[in-house]
Amino acid sequence: MNLDETAQKIKSMEIRGAGRIARAAVEALKDYAQTIKPSTSVEFYSLINSAAMKLLATRPTAVSLPNAIHFILTHLSEDGTIDVQRTHLLERADVFLYESKHAVERIGEIGSKNISDGDVILTHCNSEAALACILAAFNDGKRVEVFATEVRPRNQGLITIKTLNDAGITTNYIVDSAVRYFINDVDIVIVGADAVTVNGAVVNKIGTAQIALAAHEARTSFIVAAETYKFAPRTLLGEQISIEERESWEILSESLLRSLPNVRVRNPVFDVTPPSYIDLIVTEKGAFPPSLAYIIIKEYLGWSIDEFHKTFQIDYRE
């Protein structure tokens, strides 16, 4: 798949899920770097930079995308031959792809330890990382039952219930608004993340924050499963995570909307769950309380404030 196709598929959500988006972008940059035939290293650098911008412009919220691009392009410079630059990029891309897949497995191993035999688990949307925890617990022989939400308007819950069904896990499929009705039947909520800010707040699929509120009121554990590259270094500088708002047709048909001239549709795709509602964030480096988000950004992503001035310059807001 070429760069434009990948960008289009991420935009249209044919490729979706924060981890998958990051890996698809890295694969696309890797292929692109092998396809282009620049005549100078300055041209190589500039073409790669533009390609990175194109990928970054697809979806604004999942921080895994800029973090992955930063990871493979960091230390790339206009100095050095084209071959040196290309080799550097390809090596970094392979490291990211390898580590990303292993991170999800490791999260499954660590997260499953928080699940007990007989637990009823609620999950929202379709998160590879959250599902890894549930599947690992089940494969360890724990009897678990899941409540999976529908996830209006794009119905990612259908992907989740297919995975759970295929694994042989008893699953209850519910509409998003039924969460509070069932929350007292649930032992533990496990969701993924599109971004984690420096104060430990979690940006995830719309509806996550109200599930966290219901869990908090019911004293139900609320766990987030997120690779370290979902943590957002730029929040250290006070940058906000921008919340994607998608088109109205995802919720209401264009003809119906046209017949309702006083109605407008709002379609934010993500919301922010405050750290006070989160018990644990399970990463591939271990399980942390949200208050340790800064440590993860600094120790594991290797970013400190000085870092922003040294690294490859990408305007993540484009």
CA dist 23 and 53 (Å) reads 16
SS3 content of the chain, % helix, strand, coil (to 5): 50, 15, 35
Identity at 124, one-letter amino acid code: H
Q: How far is the CB of 45 from ligand RI2 (least distance, A)?
A: 30
Measured in degrees and rounded to the nearest 5, phi and psi for residue 283 equal -115, 175
Give least dist CB 144 to ligand RI2, A.
18
Q: Which residue out of 4, 83, 117, 125 is catalytically annotated? A: 125
End-to-end Cα distance, the chain: 23
Based on the residue annotation, tell me whether 194 is a catalytic residue of this protein.
yes
User: Of 261, 275, 279, 168, whose CA–CA distance to 218 is shortest?
Assistant: 279
CB of 160 to ligand RI2, least distance (A): 10
- Which of 194, 279, 306, 315 is labelled catalytic? 194
- Containing H/E element for 222? strand 221-225
Nearest to 222 by CA among 194, 176, 187, 180: 187
CB-wise, 88 or 124, nearer to ligand RI2?
A: 124
Nearer to ligand RI2, 204 or 220 (CB): 204
Phi-psi region of 202 (alpha: psi -120 to 50; beta: other; left: phi over 0): beta
Helix (H, G, I), strand (E, B), or coil: what is residue 281?
Answer: strand
Closest CB 128 distance from ligand RI2, rounded Å: 3
Residue nearer to ligand RI2 on the CB measure, 34 or 177: 177
Residues in contact with ligand RI2 by CB under 6 A are 16-19, 125, 127-129, 156, 191-194, 204-205, 269
Q: How many CB atoms lie within 10 A of CB 231?
A: 29
Say whether 125 is catalytic: yes
Considering beta carbons, is residue 48 or 146 the nearer one to ligand RI2? 146
Catalytic residues: 125, 194
